[in-house]
Chain A
Amino acid sequence: MSLLIKGGTVTTAEESYRADVYCADGLIQAIGENLEVPAGAETVDAGGALVMPGGIDPHTHMEIPFMGGRAGDDFFTGPAAGLSGGTTMIIDFVIPASDERPLDAYHVWRSRSEKAPADYSFHVAITSWSDQVSEDMETLTRDHGVNSFKHFMAYKNDIMLDGENLMHSFRRCRDLGAVATVHCEDGNMIWLMQQELLAAGITGPEGHPQSRPPEVEGEATNRAIRIAQLLNTPIYIVHVTCREALQEIVRARMEGQRVYGECLAQHLVIDDSVYYDPDPVKARAYVMSPPFRPKDHLRELWRGLQSGNLQTTATDHCAFCNVDKEKGKDDFSKIPNGTSGVEDRMSVLWDQGVETGKLTPNEFVRVTSTNAAQIFNIYPRKGAIRVGADADITVWDPKATRILSAKTHLQKNDFNIYEGMEVTGVARSTVSQGNLVWQDGDLRAEPGAGRYIERATFGPMFDAAGRAREQRPWRRVDRSEAAE
């Protein structure tokens, strides 16, 4: 099985140049002009297109169980939709119940993901603390290729961690060489606001954003960063949505702290007016956390990507449909949180980022793939176009357009948050493990073809963290007792 991508411009986070790319045995075997390839190699025409590392979506929730139901997309349909949009890998989440062992939950999720058509990996959430959890973290890093643990500061009385447990877990992350990732919203503030809003008779989806204003996110972001600073461990803030949170990240980075920030494609283009839509089905469909923000925050997030203060883009793909969302029709706090977008992320980023002059094509690759691969330590196997890398490649047509719609999308969701938007920049072909899995509308995804990708601990950022700790050893003064 071999494949030649011919006539395109290789575009990486680093550079752009004309070259053909030859793939065989799942890997990139050669890059160059006018490559000679064995007879029988399939040819993909990349004329006029860019040949880029396939997108990596570092934040998805496929097949997540909720109140007896399941999110619409499972580990086959979700990643398959991603392939049609140029995304060749996801990093999903194992989320143990607060009384469940992380290791047990990991095995449950692994069995669900066996049907995946493309490569994937898992962050594991820490939703409680005990010696057992601490031990499981070590087992997961040592034996199962996990190098990142997720923490929720929201969802009080459920999976929220308090300050003490955050510190326990961050310290464990540090010692194991794993990245601590955090959902930063203050669960106590939200809980209070929810009670106030419901008491005031505001039960509809407009209560959702009002219960989680930007200061809730800003506060939690600052607190998580300060804890990570105290413990001197790298931290990755998922779905940054507002100026208040971004400012904390910028401040910490300027002080030399290893802080990374992710933003979601939808937070870059959709504003909070959607929650005030008179149609309850529509307004509920946009319920996710953190919520969409007023327009001025959108521009700030773009600037975060431009300046490098935010490094990655994701979708938080979580395909709850109306049948699930309806469970909160009388109480917004019971609407399952989640929107979809794994299929559209790259097109939205190209159309709204590159087409408008906010990002260069190289920066586009950086924020859709390469940075995620580097932070989660799977680079250059993923996120790179080079000999020896996995042949996960997107042939990107920078001029073609398509209209985003629930009527035509492949993800299993009855709603598309970008409905009707015409975007420029489309995946013409997608190659996964060296196989052509998407070609001009023809999806050839195969259940179970995807592999679980193990991620090694102690990524490059730990080189500095370890040395920095040695600079500040504990000090002890030996004092003799005064003679009596």
Chain B
Amino acid sequence: MSLLIKGGTVVTAEESYRADVYCADGTIQAIGENLEAPAGAEVVDAGEALVIPGGIDPHTHMELPFMGTVTADDFMSGPSAGLSGGTTMIIDFVIPSPEQSLLEAYDTWMANAAKAPSDYSFHVAITWWSDQVREEMGVLTRERGVNSFKHFMAYKGAIMLDDEILLNSFDRCQELGAMATVHAENGEMIFHLQNKLLAMGITGPEGHVQSRPPEVEGEATQRVITVAGVANAPLYVVHCSCKQSLAAIAQARANGQAVYGEALAQHLVIDESTHYLPDITMASAHVMSPPFRTKEHRDALWGGLQSGTLQTTASDHCAFCAPQKALGKDNFTLMPNGCGGIEDRMSILWDQGVKTGLLTPNDFVRVTSTATAKIFNIHPRKGAVSVGADADLAVWDPNASRKVSVKTHHSNMDFNLYEGMTLTGLARATISQGKQVWDGKDLKVEKGVGRYIPRPTYSSVFDRVKTYRALNAPRRVERAQAAE
């Protein structure tokens, strides 16, 4: 099984150059001009197109259980939709219930993911704290290839963590060489505002956005950065959506702290006004957390990606459909949070980022795959076009366009956030493990061929964290007892 991608321009986070790419046995075997295809090799024409590392979506929720059902996209349909959009790997989340064993939850999610058509990995959420949790974090990093743990500061009364647990868990993360990741919204403030809004009779989806204003996110981001600083733990802030949160990250980075930030494609383009649409189905379909923001916040997020203050882009793909959303039609706080988007993330970033001159094509690769691979320590196996790397590639047509619609998308979602948008930049072909799985028209995915990608601990940033820790070890002053 071998494949030659011919005639394209290889574009990585670092550079662009004309070259053919030859893949066999699931990895990239050769890169160069005028490569000869061995007999029997499949040839993919990349003329006029860019050959880029396949997208990595570091934030998805496939097959997420919710009140006895699961989200519409499972580990087959969701990643398949991703492949049609040029995304070849996801990092999903294992979310144990409070009191549940982390290992048990991990096994459950791993069993669900066995059907995946492309490679995947898992962050594991810390939703409670005990000696057992502490112990199991060790087992997950040592034996299961987990190098990141997720923390929720929102969802009071469910999976929200207080500062004490955050400190315990962050301390454990840095001890294990794992990245602490965090959903930063202040759950207490949200709870307070939700009750106030409901009491005023604001029960519709417009209540959602009003219960989670930017300051709620700004406070939590500032706080969690401080907590991580005290624990000397590198920190990754998921779905940064507003100016306040971005300012906290920029400030911390300018102070030399190891803090990373992720932006969701939809937060870069969709406006807050969608939460106020008169059509309740439409408005409900937009309910996710953090909510959509005004233009000034979107402009700031683009600046964050341009300056490198935010490093990654994701989709938070979580396919709740209308019947599930309807559970909250009389009370927005009961509405399941989540939108789709795994399929459109890369096209959105190209159309709204590269075409407008905000990002270079190299920046595009950096924010859609390479930075993620580095932060989560799977580079250069993923996120690179180099000999020996996994042959996960997208042949990206920078000039072709498509119209986004729920009628034509591959996800099982009954709604598309970007409905009607014409986007320039699309995956003409997608290669996963050296096989062409998307040719621009048809998906040729195979259930279960995706592999779980173990991620080693102690990514490069820990080189400096370790030295800093050693030089700033706690000090003790030995004092002689005064003679009596």
Contact = CB atoms under 8 A, between A and B. Distances in A.
A337 B357 CA distance: 40
A208 to B, nearest CB: 29
A80 B467 CA distance: 33
B99 interface: no
B451 interface: no
B357 A469 contact: yes
Contacts of B362: 460, 463
Among B308, B379, B464, B465, chain A packs the most CB atoms within 10 A around the CB of B464
Interface string A450-484: 00000000001101111111110000000000000
Contact of B471 (A15, A303, A357): A357
A360 interface: yes
A380 interface: yes
Contacts of B380: 14-15
A241 interface: no
Contact of B254 (A309, A359, A379, A469): A309
B253 A307 contact: yes
B356 A468 contact: yes
A356 B359 CA distance: 34
Contacts of B256: 302-303, 306-307, 358
Contact of B14 (A302, A374, A463): A374
Contacts of A97: none
Interface string A242-270: 00000000100111110000000000000
B416 to A, nearest CB: 26
A256 B469 contact: no
Nearest to A360: B463
B217 to A, nearest CB: 17
Given A256-B303, A306-B256, 9 more contacts: A14-B14, A307-B254, A357-B465, A357-B466, A358-B468, A379-B14, A460-B361, A468-B356, A468-B358
8 contacts: A15-B380, A254-B246, A255-B303, A256-B358, A357-B468, A357-B471, A379-B14, A464-B359
A468 to B, nearest CB: 3
B16 interface: yes
Given A467-B357, A468-B356, A357 B467 contact: yes
B471 A460 contact: no
Contacts of B358: 256, 464, 468
Interface string B183-215: 000000000000000000000000000000000
Interface string A1-44: 00000000000001110000000000000000000000000000
A361 interface: yes
Nearest to B16: A460
A362 interface: yes
Nearest to B463: A360
Given A14-B380, A354-B467, A465 B460 contact: no
A433 B127 CA distance: 56
Contact of B357 (A250, A355, A471): A471
Among B15, B307, B359, B467, chain A packs the most CB atoms within 10 A around the CB of B307
B304 interface: yes
Interface in A134-181: none
CB-based closest 8 A-B pairs: A468-B357, A467-B357, A357-B468, A357-B467, A253-B307, A360-B463, A256-B306, A307-B253
A71 B14 CA distance: 37
A308 interface: yes
Contact of B460 (A16, A256, A307, A463): A16
B467 A355 contact: yes
A468 B356 CA distance: 6
A304 interface: yes
Contacts of B306: 253, 256-257
A463 B460 CA distance: 30
B250 interface: yes
B309 A254 contact: yes
A14 B357 contact: no
A251 B323 CA distance: 46
A354 to B, nearest CB: 7
A257 B303 CA distance: 8
A379 B303 CA distance: 25
B360 interface: yes
Given A357-B468, A471-B356, A463 B254 contact: no
A359 B465 CA distance: 9
Contact of A463 (B304, B360, B461, B470): B360
Interface string A309-345: 1000000000000000000000000000000000000
A21 to B, nearest CB: 15
Nearest to A258: B306
Contacts of A379: 14-15
Contact of B464 (A360, A461, A466): A360
A464 B357 contact: yes
B15 A380 contact: yes
Contacts of B357: 464-471
A168 B363 CA distance: 29
Contacts of A463: 360-362
B69 interface: no
A216 B243 CA distance: 30
Contacts of A308: 253, 308
B33 to A, nearest CB: 12
A463 B256 CA distance: 30
B355 interface: yes
A406 B361 CA distance: 47
Interface string A427-445: 0000000000000000000
Contacts of B307: 250, 253-254, 256, 309
Interface string A358-369: 111111000000
A356 B468 CA distance: 6
A475 to B, nearest CB: 18
B229 to A, nearest CB: 13
Interface string B361-387: 111000000000010000110000000
B302 A360 contact: no
Contact of A467 (B302, B355, B470): B355
Contacts of A469: 357
Among B15, B256, B303, B306, chain A packs the most CB atoms within 10 A around the CB of B256
Contacts of A360: 460-461, 463-464
Nearest to B467: A357
A464 B302 CA distance: 13
B481 interface: no
B304 A254 contact: yes
A307 B261 CA distance: 13
A361 B460 CA distance: 8
A355 B466 CA distance: 11
A356 B471 CA distance: 7
B408 interface: no
B303 A254 contact: yes
Nearest to A306: B256
B87 to A, nearest CB: 22
B354 interface: yes
A460 B255 contact: no
Contacts of B359: 464
A362 B379 CA distance: 13
A309 B309 CA distance: 9
Interface in A52-74: none
